Homo-oligomer: A and B are copies of this chain.
Amino acid sequence: MSPRSDAVRSRERILAAARDGRGEELRLNEIARRAGVGVGTVYRHFPTTHALTEALTRETLERMREVARAAREGSDEDAFALFLGAALDLQLDDGGLKTVLLSPADEEPGVAELKREIFAAFDEVLDRARRSGAVRADLDIVQIEHLICGIEYAVRLGASGDRAPFLEILLAGIRPAPAR
């Protein structure tokens, strides 16, 4: 049974209102007011704040999947570095992405699949990078993701938002120590 038309309308209004206030914290009351619906309606569509975050982040997740696929399929030497840069940019762009990637919740339909695909491709690219000597052997995909989040955090602390030096530092840092 397809969803009722008013439900679809409400959902879209809520998402639009939430997107308006991007950057600010998600305040459900405020979003309901801006969307012109009751608070109850917001909770009906998104039982938790996390569910709403996932819905807001879906587009970014899809972009990340594309980037990950391209990195896996391509034969670029620097695929891993490029992917890391892209991932950092996406996370800086969409403050909710980090939460969605790290949380095991996956409440919105399809999000779990998206994440699985992203991490699978990521893992493959990481594996190649490890073998080519661009990344230390003792780092797994989870630690790398945590590091990206840490660098995202550091970039946000700076007023300039200049990610370049911090990305360089991350890439240089995760390279295996040169033998001496």
Contact = CB atoms under 8 A, between A and B. Distances in A.
What's the dominant secondary structure at chain A's contact region? helix
A154 interface: yes
B166 A147 contact: yes
A interface residue count range (under 10 / 10 to 19 / 20 to 34 / 35 or more) = 20 to 34
Given A139-B165, A173-B170, A154 B158 contact: no
A158 B178 contact: no
Interface of A: 102, 136, 138-139, 142-143, 146-147, 149-155, 157-158, 165-166, 168-175, 177-178
26 contacts: A102-B157, A136-B165, A139-B165, A142-B158, A146-B155, A146-B157, A147-B166, A147-B169, A150-B150, A150-B151, A150-B154, A150-B155, A150-B157, A150-B166, A169-B170, A169-B173, A169-B174, A170-B173, A171-B173, A172-B172, A172-B173, A172-B175, A172-B177, A173-B173, A173-B174, A178-B178
